[in-house]
Structure 1
């Protein structure tokens, strides 16, 4: 019987990768040719161009650092990232190197089982962004995996544990501390199903940071004390060989120190010319590891707490913490997690191998993912005179009596199925089971229920008989159904998606945590006129991914640029632009924009792949160093303004305690030779800028308070003079809400209340006939020195309308100014970050 389901799951990891195969009620890891469960995610290319993957490649990271590479997963999604293999002259992207790892895993299946698989479920960190997921899909395709559904690593771990835990109801926290990434996911279990209800993570928090901490904080100083190697550092390319040796030794010692209190390091290091010259010996202790690990452990715990709080839960609501990833073997981490004060105080579950659990969970999930139907098989069956059955039934489920239904069968010639029957036989059931003969309707349709053994793959032979009781051969001849105690629900989105607006804010369309597939739609308005014949103007609609309030602090994943050559008529400023966004269960997005004025839809180009450093590490380092200096200058400027002991002070203290500036500086220095450091530095810079945004906003709260109270005073006079009873009621409620937000110290709510005041202000002016005059007064002040003669002519017309009290003329002038004024800023960065020329609502 040809397989009906994918059955193979792959954990494509930062440091190691694993492939597993589904069994009846669990999964089993497929060993490498070296007998190991894991394949190091490393690639080496010889001078002749031969590619080696796994153990041989990892072993050459130290001896031939110019021809072997590892830990490239963190650069997935970076379009420009390239690693050079010097002797062969080849360059490979992280996607291509990941494809080589996947090919090696496919080869293990071929060797162990004689199967040439073309499909597998592949895991990705829940914190992966869409471009990184897309890069993973591309790697699978290059590796010959034509079908490669993605599953998030915490979800895969939940699938593995669900096969072993008898819990019927409650909450789990998946704590996944891997080699390069960290994920915390809240899983809800209820009524035979489990679902991820919230997630927090960091793509740049993993065990490798502990390794580098040991290298830079312990081993490099120890080497310098013993030998004349003053330039030994991550920022020096000639140190690459020694650094690779030190990092590998640190990683091995760290693992050993989970079981012992000290581990010896013995290395032959090279001199400044690259010649082996120095015998380095050092005793690394568990205390050394803990000194550099605890800060990362605490950061992971903070992310866990955030995930729990955002889900509306408390630590006491979580039944167990599922430990995933090699780092969770460390005694210090387990002790910290179990501590109710410093950690989480939730019972830890390490009943499954934390290294293999993700791959095994992916395989269990793969066991319920159907392979696509092959039309050629049905056509061949028809040509042979067989009946092709079109059956509808679940591939897997927690129901022991699954429903199966048949649509009208396909035959070479039409036929009446009156009197025909179908029977399902489960000869290997415990006990063996038969459905009995189920009558078909005249058109061949039917429904019936099967009986399944629990925690098993149930295979049923089909027996189709015509009205005379003659057995008819069919395609398929049998079907299978996998029973599972618990089933996972739809995947959820890990990062919000939205449109960047002209004021550098984001209109979020699909929020983090939404079940997939998902779709959303929003009506926006252009801020710049597009003039076809004058070939001026631009409607830009950027699509971003992330959670940060400022648009340019998030990841740009797509953009529509509507230019004059694409339109058959002018598109005035203020024209509607309807944006639709869809994302499927494999985290693949699609977006388009419809312009009603043109009655035309334009696809938004979603180019999943960020621009990175490429192979020019020195150029990347210079850029990151410059951006680091901007960060330091901005921090100095904020400090000079003084920080009160309130919210701004707390944020500033946290920024200082985490030593963000020093961390960014160190990574920027290392970026000249270390692509990994460049990627991590880019992420840390964004986080740091967002943190400074928060401090700056907190510092500006007093000014926002003054603005709110001033608007209340101005609006009170306007409402008293020109408002109606409805206006007075709305003003009273809004003024009270402003004072409430001030008392609470909530700047976000206060800003919203000020916006409400502004809307009431506009409504009173509109209803009293004063709005056109007020708008013109603002435009006149703004455009008084505008160089465009047409703008000056319109301002003169407006002044005449103002003098005569001609509201119609003022309204006309305002509309024309709104179209004419944007010409002065065409081509400028209207968004302050992403150049968006759309706004939300009518403002």
Structure 2
């Protein structure tokens, strides 16, 4: 009977596989076809008949409408289904994935006599919460119990490293699969295998390369050969032909991993007649088409390295994972230190099954959830606590015995015995305490599984029957680290910025909290008022560039007193090992807690009109920023724009938007790509605005110097000197993040000095006056501005704070607060 899960599943876009750890080694479970992997395809020709794998995949590319594949990218999208017309049913991506999981489970049952109770299932590192949730749902539908999830590059690292003899090393996993790309920086240190950082794209993989070959090579050639108009993928009239071309592109790509050229032959349906399209494809053509995708993957690797504070030269090996890494063109690019990474390539593991093998390695560290065994008369049970796997040679074992009758446990002792050990090992006799518990240590053999019999001996010297009767500990050179958070979680603030609370890569389970302040007042007399706190997931600086996964709402009926603007709200985010998320907002003023509504089952694919509008906005913004970057001469801005061009990001987004008309997976991919492009353009915009921000900084510093010279103390002078020193450095080495930080510090110092001088209220008023067109009530604004002008004319300084307070209520919540500095007018900065 197994104590640990032991089975690992790579649930892939194109192919899936299951592996198992047995007697300290890892094996791939073959399917009925004798293959190490099963195509992730489902064919339902009639009610009650379901086929998974090779036969289903073959039907798809013959145009059978009762077969489907590549549904992984649609996981977690509410309302997305695939139809099986003859069978008269529709299945969600989760249900389709469950059929693949059932097939793998049946393969394991055929080999081991019973289906596995649970398995560790892999997910892309860049999968969102709703996609992870959908994967767990698919496992439950397939009949599995609780299935831990592990990231695909992490699993691959486990497969490479669990018996690797490198005492201390850095590796990078390069995982280019059928539909996703993941990169992970991994370290082995003191017997632990840890993921230091990861980056990825859940919509970058071999599937995109296949479609690019179709769109840029095969389809244009076929259109020219047969004189076809509007022969494009988004034209429903040519759907069957494009599926056949997609199949041919995939087969040709695989063949060109071994050959310099191959002949593509496809039967196309042209005006009701079957015509054979023939094309000789060269390896160089595939490399040219695939190059932008390769470059995108390399740049993501560089991001992961930078986040881990490492360079390519620090990495010992680049571990290749995924069928797409078999391409010679990709391997040559990766090996080049200029265009690629220049890290030594390691392809000693089968790239198509290494993720499943690594998942099994991790599975062997996870105990099965078993019901508690109750002892029967004359027998004993023991609840044991020990590490199932370890990188140590000596490990603790603790336990507590139970009996159906009362016992004087101090009359018993326990011995753990491994006569097969090298050398044989036996613990000393350990007397139980009054509660029937014990603690001892065992020595395990290196790089193998050591099994110890549990012997309970009574006062009369009789060895009692005990369940379970053995303890098995497997020794590895590198112990897998625990699960980590896939993407950062936090809030989208009123000014659209993203405030991370739990950062990507945090070990699970994890809890973190931060204090925020409300930007609007909540009056109990206003039933339509609300404070809304969006919970978002992602890594982009702007909250609305990330994915909203939940919402906290506070309404007047929920509080006993009015909440003034600026009230404290403490937000706590908790994520358990199964990635279940709980978010609570605590409002101390009313002593109330509000829990976020986290609905991961209601994420929908964006509609085509929204995507097309976003694409137009991206194209217009890109053109404007190109012009601005040229005028400003900003090299960092130009470098970012060049990288977008090099990766063909906008062109790829256009293709996905076109395909989104008939493909929810493409719609999700387009949505994410457009968000990422917008986020990159945000950074370009910051770089373009950097010279102007430097000018603003110099202006504020000049004012600070004048104020500090009159009013400052030693601490103020030290702060000013530090800001000026770093400003001079920033002038020589411009960096938008540094300049913004210095500007914020300078504004804070200026505000403190102006409060001390009594001129802050004057400056704030003039800022409101200059920006009164932004105030929400023009009539009230004009009256307050007139009142302020009169107060200044009469030097009635005491009235200004009240006037500013009333103006502040008319100030939009999503704009910076003038009273906090940095946006104040310096007109009449001193009292007259």
TM-score by length of 1: 0.91
Q: Secondary structure at the match of 1:173?
A: strand
Q: C-alpha distance in 2, partners of 1:503/1:345?
A: 42
Within-5 A mapping of 1:216-235: 216-235=215-234
Cα shift readout 1:649-708 (whole Å, capped 9, x = no counterpart): 333333334443333223222221233332222222122212222222222122212211
Cα shift readout 1:87-108 (whole Å, capped 9, x = no counterpart): 4443322222111111111121
Is 1:20 aligned with 2:7? no
Shift of 1:41: 0.9
Q: 2:488 aligns with which of 496, 519, 540?
A: 496
Alignment-derived partner of residue 306 in structure 1: 303
Alignment-derived partner of residue 728 in structure 2: 739
Alignment-derived partner of residue 681 in structure 2: 692
Is 1:472 aligned with 2:464? yes
Alignment-derived partner of residue 196 in structure 1: 195
Within-5 A mapping of 1:513-662: 513-608=505-600, 611-613=603-605, 620-641=607-628, 643=630, 644-645=632-633, 646-662=635-651
- Residues 282 and 392 of structure 1: CA distance in aligned 2, closer, same or farther (over 3 Å): same
- Preserved CA contact (<8 Å) 1:231 1:239: no
Q: C-alpha distance in 1, partners of 2:153/2:177?
A: 11
- Residues 184 and 641 of structure 1: CA distance in aligned 2, closer, same or farther (over 3 Å): closer
- Preserved CA contact (<8 Å) 1:557 1:609: no
Q: Which protein, 1 or 2, shows the higher relative CO under an 8 Å CA cutoff with sep ≥ 6?
A: 1
- Preserved CA contact (<8 Å) 2:47 2:88: no
Alignment-derived partner of residue 828 in structure 2: none
Q: 1:396 aligns with which of 389, 398, 412?
A: 389
Shift of 1:709: 1.5
Q: Mark the runs of 5 or more structure 2 residues left unpaired by the alignment.
A: 824-832
Q: 2:441 aligns with which of 424, 449, 452?
A: 449
- Residues 75 and 153 of structure 1: CA distance in aligned 2, closer, same or farther (over 3 Å): same
Is 1:679 aligned with 2:668? yes
- Preserved CA contact (<8 Å) 1:786 1:792: no
Within-5 A mapping of 1:354-369: 354-369=351-366
Q: Secondary structure at the match of 1:155?
A: helix
Q: C-alpha distance in 1, partners of 2:542/2:821?
A: 18
Q: 1:419 aligns with which of 411, 415, 432?
A: 411
Q: C-alpha distance in 1, partners of 2:712/2:265?
A: 84
Alignment-derived partner of residue 176 in structure 1: 175
Instruction: State the number of aligned residues.
Output: 819
Q: C-alpha distance in 2, partners of 1:458/1:447?
A: 18
- Preserved CA contact (<8 Å) 1:418 1:467: no
Alignment-derived partner of residue 288 in structure 1: 285
- Residues 85 and 229 of structure 1: CA distance in aligned 2, closer, same or farther (over 3 Å): farther
Q: CA RMSD in A?
A: 2.9
Cα shift readout 1:310-350 (whole Å, capped 9, x = no counterpart): 32222222111111111122222222222333332222221
Q: C-alpha distance in 2, partners of 1:816/1:225?
A: 70
Shift of 1:483: 1.7
Q: C-alpha distance in 1, partners of 2:506/2:466?
A: 42
Cα shift readout 1:629-653 (whole Å, capped 9, x = no counterpart): 1222222333444614422233333
Shift of 1:780: 6.0
- Preserved CA contact (<8 Å) 2:162 2:480: no
Q: C-alpha distance in 2, partners of 1:623/1:536?
A: 28
- Residues 310 and 475 of structure 1: CA distance in aligned 2, closer, same or farther (over 3 Å): same
Q: C-alpha distance in 2, partners of 1:572/1:752?
A: 29
Q: C-alpha distance in 2, partners of 1:428/1:725?
A: 74
Within-5 A mapping of 1:369-380: 369-375=366-372, 377-378=373-374
Q: C-alpha distance in 1, partners of 2:117/2:753?
A: 67
Q: C-alpha distance in 2, partners of 1:770/1:739?
A: 28
- Preserved CA contact (<8 Å) 1:268 1:276: no
Pick which of 779-788 and 38-47 moved more. 779-788
Shift of 1:563: 1.7
Q: Mark the runs of 5 or more structure 1 residues left unpaired by the alignment.
A: 615-619
- Residues 536 and 674 of structure 1: CA distance in aligned 2, closer, same or farther (over 3 Å): closer
Is 1:459 aligned with 2:459? no
Q: C-alpha distance in 2, partners of 1:135/1:786?
A: 43
- Residues 681 and 494 of structure 1: CA distance in aligned 2, closer, same or farther (over 3 Å): same
Alignment-derived partner of residue 106 in structure 1: 105
- Preserved CA contact (<8 Å) 2:377 2:405: no
Shift of 1:297: 2.1
Q: C-alpha distance in 2, partners of 1:364/1:649?
A: 45
Cα shift readout 1:545-590 (whole Å, capped 9, x = no counterpart): 2221111111112221212232232212111100111223333332
Alignment-derived partner of residue 254 in structure 1: 253
Alignment-derived partner of residue 617 in structure 1: none
Pick which of 384-393 and 417-426 moved more. 384-393
Q: C-alpha distance in 2, partners of 1:312/1:578?
A: 32
Q: C-alpha distance in 2, partners of 1:71/1:684?
A: 19
- Preserved CA contact (<8 Å) 1:499 1:506: yes
Alignment-derived partner of residue 347 in structure 1: 344
Cα shift readout 1:698-732 (whole Å, capped 9, x = no counterpart): 22122212211111222333334444454344333
Shift of 1:814: 5.0
TM-score by length of 2: 0.92
Q: Secondary structure at the match of 2:411?
A: coil
Is 1:332 aligned with 2:321? no
Cα shift readout 1:105-138 (whole Å, capped 9, x = no counterpart): 1121222222122210001111222222122111
Q: 2:430 aligns with which of 427, 438, 442?
A: 438
Pick which of 275-284 and 428-437 moved more. 428-437
- Preserved CA contact (<8 Å) 2:178 2:324: yes
- Residues 786 and 453 of structure 1: CA distance in aligned 2, closer, same or farther (over 3 Å): closer
Q: 2:399 aligns with which of 386, 406, 409?
A: 406
Shift of 1:524: 0.5
Shift of 1:821: 3.1
